[in-house]
Structure 1
Amino acid sequence: MPPFFKLNTDGSVDISFAGFWGIIHDNFGQVIVDYAGPLSPCKILFSELMGLIKSLYICNNRGFIDIEIEVDSLLLIQIIKNVDVFYTQFFYIIRKIRMALSTLNYTIKHIFREGNTCADCMAKLGSRLEEDMEFGIDNLPHILKGLVNLDKIGLPYIRSG
């Protein structure tokens, strides 16, 4: 089986903060890069789109071609897969995403929020940052280390709060 990379992304929006997050693992579950960033207050769909486009740029820049993408937004998947779904306010970012995807061998699938816990947790962190940040395995935020280990060994998440 050729090496592939798994990509999880998410967006977060509340009353006064918005952000995005993503994580790229290798096919052994090892974190390659984790990143997060703030956004101006926006719609949740925009934050989800931003999380995905930032991820795709990182994959393209690092030469990652075979990508398994997981997101917890069915609407995002419908927009990416269906050229008939049209959001004029997001036209340019959707076009950029489709262009970035055209250079990859990818699958995209829906994962329930509970299965995307790392992304959900870190998107909230991204909304509190002052600028985009990348993290490697040596400087992952503490809360993420445990979630990554659960994901790596395939244990289900227990939702809290």
Structure 2
Amino acid sequence: MAGNMSKGIMSNCITDFQALKEFNIVSHAGPAPKIQEVIWSFPPNGWIKANTDGAARGSPGYASAGGIFRDSSGGIKGCFSLYLGIQSSLFAEAIAAMHAIEIAHQNHWHNFWLECDSKLVVDAFNNHHIIPWKLRNRWYNCIYFCSLMNFRISHIFREGNCCADKLANFSLTSREDHWWDKVLLAPGH
């Protein structure tokens, strides 16, 4: 009786539905999950796109950052993976973004698109106080570099940022910094 009066929502599981039906309890199915397609997009012609990610095992904990640079055909211009020691996850995400901007500036990539899965880092471009104080000078330098180029920042869900995620996690294991100019794929890939 109490089940029929309940306004609670059940999980959308067939076994729960069958059990409730056996007891003649009216079920209130929850809303269907929202499915959103996550696809990495190529940058426009003449642009370089960097996807970055930070990783931390604990916050603070061992942390690292990674990023990958691609041109408009999807060709890889380079990749990095940095070991950061004991840091917070926001520190790692911010370092990844700043390192990518610095590389873009050094390489004179004047049309640069930065994409990361940290909404907080994306928001930091409008509110610099989000960035930890010990990174602020470097952050302001990067903001200046961005003003010298056609710069775009966007958020991507982590499902679309798996290459940067793998690069960040690589330095968590190796505890070393790495740069790759090209990526060699295994035969058949």
TM-score, normalized by length of structure 2?
0.67
- Whether 1:14 and 2:54 are equivalent positions in the alignment is no
- Structure 1 pair 50/126, CA: closer, same or farther in 2 (3 Å)? same
The structure richer in helix per residue is 1
What residue ranges of structure 2 are gaps of 5+ in the alignment?
A: 1-43
**1:38-77 matches, cutoff 5 A:** 38-77=83-122
Whole-angstrom distance in 1 between the partners of 2:64 and 2:100: 14
Q: CA deviation at 1:89?
A: 4.2
8 A contact 1:25–1:31 mirrored in 2: yes
Q: CA deviation at 1:125?
A: 0.6
Q: CA deviation at 1:51?
A: 0.7
**1:106-117 matches, cutoff 5 A:** 106-117=151-162
2:127 aligns to what?
82
Task: Specify which structure has the bigger relative contact order, considering alpha-carbon pairs within 8 angstroms and separated by 6 or more residues.
Answer: 1
Whole-angstrom distance in 2 between the partners of 1:64 and 1:55: 11
2:75 aligns to what?
30
8 A contact 2:97–2:114 mirrored in 1: no
State the number of aligned residues: 142
- Structure 1 pair 78/130, CA: closer, same or farther in 2 (3 Å)? same
Whole-angstrom distance in 2 between the partners of 1:14 and 1:96: 28
Deviating runs (4+, > 4 A) in structure 1? 83-87
RMSD of equivalent CA atoms: 2.1
What residue ranges of structure 1 are gaps of 5+ in the alignment?
A: 147-161
